[in-house]
Amino acid sequence: MFNWLESTSYAEWIQISLWDWAIMLTLHAIGTATIVGINFVAGLRLVGFFRSIPCTSLNQFIKITWFALALNFVSGFSLFMSNASNYGTELWFLMKMGFVILASVATWQVQKAVKQDGAAWDSAGAVSATAIRLAISSLALYSALVIMSRLVAYLGRY
């Protein structure tokens, strides 16, 4: 299946033209900046920074993450297709995919907690210990995801 993906005309188009790879990587970088930026601000707020930002407002930002994640799936899959047989069997890339799933689940959990308890945290002036632990996990997972993604380019066998 990986070989078939790589031989499609779309994949060949990305392989042949330097511009097409660059465009997809640029879209991927914009998506990454949006996802990681928003999740870092939300995570740091829950941990105790930027206390003037109401917790209830975080959901408005977190919603944008899902659009950026869709952009990263499309651009990331396009990059993947250009060299599917290598990426698909590369340990670093598979670990990166694991972190994409875990970090997305963390975002979903943070969003759920903010929607459910954000107003209570704002009126109490404190975030629950469970939410702080969740925020720390989210910050750690997104850091690992970015580090792993950069390492794919250096440690992969391409």
Pick the closer one to ligand HEM by CB: 41 or 69.
69
Residues in 7-66 that interact with ligand HEM by CB under 6 A = 25, 28, 32, 35-36
Distance between CA 148 and CA 158 in Å, rounded? Answer: 16
Q: Which of 34, 39, 72, 138 binds ligand HEM (CB under 6 A)?
A: 72
State whether residue 90 is helix, strand or coil.
coil
What stretch of H or E contains 50? none
Q: With binding defined as CB under 6 A, does residue 153 bind ligand HEM?
A: yes
Q: 158: which residues sit within 8 A by CB, 6+ positions away?
A: 83, 86
Half-sphere exposure of 46 (CA within 13 A, CB side): 31
Pick the closer one to ligand HEM by CB: 126 or 153.
153
Shortest Å distance, C-beta 14 to ligand HEM:
10
- For residue 56, what is the DSSP state? G
Pick the closer one to ligand HEM by CB: 131 or 148.
148
> CA Rg, the chain, in Å?
18
Shortest Å distance, C-beta 134 to ligand HEM:
17
> Using CB under 6 A as the criterion, which residues of the chain lie in contact with ligand HEM when the complex forms?
25, 28, 32, 35-36, 69, 72-73, 76-77, 79-80, 87, 100, 103, 145-146, 149-150, 152-153, 156
